[in-house]
Chain A
Amino acid sequence: MTAVTDILNALALLSNFVLVPGLAYGSQLALGALGVTMVYAVLRFSNFAHGETMSFGAMITILVTWWLQGKGVNFGPLPTALLALPIGIIGTVLMCLLFDRFIYRYYRRQKAAPVTYLIVSVGILFILSGVVRFVIGPQDRMFADGERFILKARAFKEMTGLDQGLAIKTSQGVTVVTAVIIVALLFWFLNRTRTGKSMRAYSDNEDLALLSGISPARVVAITWIITGALAAVAGTLYGLDKGYKPFTYLGLVLPIFASAIVGGVGNPLGAIAGGFVIALSELLLTFAYKRVIAYLTPGDWVPDGLVQLLATDYKLAVSFVILVIVLLVKPTGMFSGKTL
């Protein structure tokens, strides 16, 4: 009997520290990587400004959230930020369209090399990071409200009678549910609607799509609308879960690119898979297995060390190492995609 409880305890421990945070973080990365991959598939460049775009979306959402909170509006147990999110999406989409009209469009007409776009995106990265810091300041911002937990560790213990608690934060639940809805909508759009199909055609073969009467301006505009929306959602969810700080979003660019490349740049399915691969391996490799092993081995034996493969500080290195392995072994990524 104790053997079964021990295994369940070990599972609860792993779920609490690896599975649940991994699913939430993976969803955030997946949404971010989807944005990068959409830009890559249609506009054919790596958008270095995507992290700052996420930050911009989160900033607008936070400002609206504060305004709503000031008016006494709330969303019951759910965070008020969800009510503010649509405005954040609209703001980010408008910003993306504006930048495209006044900056990217010129280079598209010039048929500029991808690396020129990359440098342009660095310029936009500067502008956005300046604007965000100017408007909201460089400090930490907490804007999560409502219930903090869906499932509290103590409630879980009482329910199951296990020693190990399993807690699910509201932000984690909201993240996963929102990500599922967004991804479902995106795939429905890409695979079922006429516009979505025309986008896939454009991404697959630009000239052929033009010949078939697909308007490139429309495809590009829709790409930016989707990218802006994805960025605003990803940025807000990340901020809700981990606290908003402008500085961290630049650092997110690396795991996001790693997710997109691991899955296969330009492939939406790959971006999602990549996000979860990166998030879960970060947590699995930096988790201290000491207590799990203690539960799984018979008797009272406990390992001496923490049994941790990598120090927690090296989380970022995990995404990099996975990126390097993929570049070495299969540069096209798991789903070897190039098209939508």
Chain B
Amino acid sequence: MSMNLRNVLLFAAMGALLVAVGVIQSANVALAILNLCLISAIMTLGVNIQWGYAGLFNAGVMGFAALGGLAAVVVSFPAVPQAWAVGGPRAMLGLATGVCAIALAIVAWKRMPGSRRLRGWAAAGVALAGIAVMRLVIDPAVEAIEAVEPAKTGFLGGLGLPIVLSWVVGGALAALAAWAIGKIALGLRSDYLAIATLGISEIIIYFLKNEEWMARGVKNVNGLPRPVPYEIDLQQTLWVQDLAARLDFNVIELSSIIVKLCYAGLFVVALAVIFWLSERALKSPWGRMMRAIRDNETAASAMGKDVTWRHLQVFVLGSAVIGLAGAMLTTLDGIFTPTSYQPLRFTFLIWVMVIVGGSGNNLGSILGGFVIWFFWIEAEPIGLTLIEFLTSGMAQDSALRLHLIENAAHTRLATMGVVLLLVLRFSPRGLIPEREK
């Protein structure tokens, strides 16, 4: 019971911090932090499924989150009929050719008679020829699509469906990528998975930056449709104006708060569902088996468990959750910017959240996501204040002082590193440790 009390107190303290920001800075800032805390918590749950349940190190969180973002664009953005007319079918045919080439290469590798070496060369030959054919098919289509009003569209657009659907699609897309990478890297030494996932995530980002026909690349996709009302519309409605008058609040600010609250409501529902499912999985026989594999692979495989297959399963599941969170993030932003995906922010920061929260404990992951995101944002004003205070004795225009103030924002990176190392050293089980059975 005391454990439960401790958890309640930790979450209450976190809530108090957010309220404090609401009072000191503004309610809008606090809610903006809260929304990203919720998304971070879901990403952290995803990584916890891989690391906490099964001990797999995924260094490609960024890539899976970006695939979720791509899904948000593809599902929600209205189609661009002109672009479809000039190159849509041909581009799809090109994609299909690429998929067929890969499938054929795999078949050649697996099914062809002959020595390993021969099959290897055959597979490589098939893959290269397939890529050449794909380029022949797809290149003119890409050129045509990107030439359609390049300043406004220049891409195929999406399906024009409600953006919330993309959360599921993003999860599926990330799961697919995870399956491919897991097939290659699982079953080898543990750091190979880390390096392979690091690689795939960088390549996904390069792909999204360069394939403009798909999601405009570095030109970004603006104005994704929202699942919640727009501020402007809210400001016109009577009940908002009425409420603002009664609370003595600025209408513009109130509308923005309402929008953020709507998002928060959606995110809380998603977080609750994923948390419930994760807990169910962890407590089920499947969860016990995963932990058994994590704690002693040799013993588990001697008991007849297919370790590699189970690892693949859990890796795909965790990545799907990360992809879902990625789609949610793009939904919240309303804009898809491939350049914003940085490994420090999207991969390694999530890792700090998992470790600080408590690996293996879902509640801990949620808390870790909240705490670390809060300090990631608030470290900047805190660091700036601290440096201004420390250097207040120097001359106003001292070069050192100006340099320190200008670069104060970067202290948060170092702070995160120090926090991670301190937790690992002095409290390696995190804020809310895994429950012993």
A residues at B contact (CB < 8 Å):
45-46, 48, 103, 106, 114-116, 118-120, 122-131, 133-135, 137-138, 250-251, 253-254, 257-258, 261, 311, 313-314, 316-317, 319-320, 323-324, 327-329, 331
Contacts and interface: CB of A to CB of B under 8 A. Distances in A.
Contacts of B403: 137
B203 A317 contact: yes
B345 to A, nearest CB: 11
Given A45-B191, A316-B202, A127 B417 contact: yes
A219 to B, nearest CB: 21
B312 interface: no
Given A46-B195, A103-B421, A118-B191, A311 B210 contact: yes
Given A133-B407, A134-B414, A123 B420 contact: yes
B315 interface: no
Contact of A324 (B184, B413, B418): B184
Interface in B362-414: 403, 406-407, 410-414
Contacts of A45: 191
Contacts of A46: 191, 194-195
A123 B424 contact: yes
Contacts of B418: 123, 127
A119 B58 CA distance: 11
A162 B149 CA distance: 44
Contact of A250 (B194, B210, B343, B355): B343
A265 to B, nearest CB: 9
Contact of A126 (B184, B191, B413, B424): B413
Given A122-B348, A250-B343, A313 B206 contact: yes
Contacts of B413: 126-127, 129-130, 133
Contact of A130 (B195, B410, B425): B410
Given A103-B421, A122-B348, A130-B414, A327 B185 contact: yes
Nearest to A116: B424
B230 interface: no
Given A119-B351, A133-B410, A254-B198, A331 B192 contact: yes
A165 to B, nearest CB: 30
Report which residue of A46, A137, A258 has the largest number of chain B beta carbons within 10 angstroms of its beta carbon.
A46
Contacts of B203: 314, 316-317, 320
A313 B188 contact: no
Interface of B: 55, 57, 59, 120, 184-185, 188-192, 194-196, 198-200, 202-203, 206, 209-210, 343-344, 348, 351-352, 355, 403, 406-407, 410-418, 420-421, 424-425
Contacts of B198: 253-254, 257
Contact of A48 (B59, B185, B188, B415): B59
Contacts of A134: 407, 410-411, 414
Nearest to B347: A122
The 8 closest A-B CB pairs, nearest first, are A130-B414, A126-B417, A130-B413, A127-B417, A133-B410, A123-B420, A320-B199, A46-B191
Contact of A114 (B191, B209, B344): B191
5 contacts: A48-B194, A119-B424, A125-B348, A250-B344, A258-B199
A133 B417 CA distance: 14
A254 B202 contact: yes
A124 B407 contact: no
B349 to A, nearest CB: 8
A254 to B, nearest CB: 5
B376 to A, nearest CB: 11
Contact of A331 (B59, B188, B421): B188
Contacts of A123: 352, 417-418, 420-421, 424
A319 B120 CA distance: 19
Given A114-B190, A115-B57, A128-B417, 20 more contacts: A46-B195, A103-B421, A115-B55, A118-B57, A120-B424, A122-B352, A123-B417, A123-B424, A126-B416, A126-B420, A129-B344, A130-B415, A135-B407, A254-B195, A311-B210, A316-B206, A323-B195, A323-B196, A324-B199, A327-B192
B63 to A, nearest CB: 11
A261 B195 contact: yes
Contacts of B407: 133-135, 137
B315 to A, nearest CB: 15
B91 to A, nearest CB: 16
Nearest to A117: B191
A122 B351 contact: yes
A163 B414 CA distance: 53
A193 B190 CA distance: 33
B199 A254 contact: yes
B120 A329 contact: yes
B210 A313 contact: yes
A327 B202 contact: no
Contacts of B414: 126-127, 129-131, 134
B195 A257 contact: yes
Contacts of B415: 130
A125 B424 contact: no
A323 B199 contact: yes
Nearest to A325: B124
Report which residue of B185, B199, B209 has the largest number of chain A beta carbons within 10 angstroms of its beta carbon.
B199
Contacts of B410: 130, 133-134, 138
A46 B188 CA distance: 14
Report which residue of A115, A116, A123, A311 has the largest number of chain B beta carbons within 10 angstroms of its beta carbon.
A123
A48 to B, nearest CB: 7
Given A120-B421, A254-B198, A328 B210 contact: no
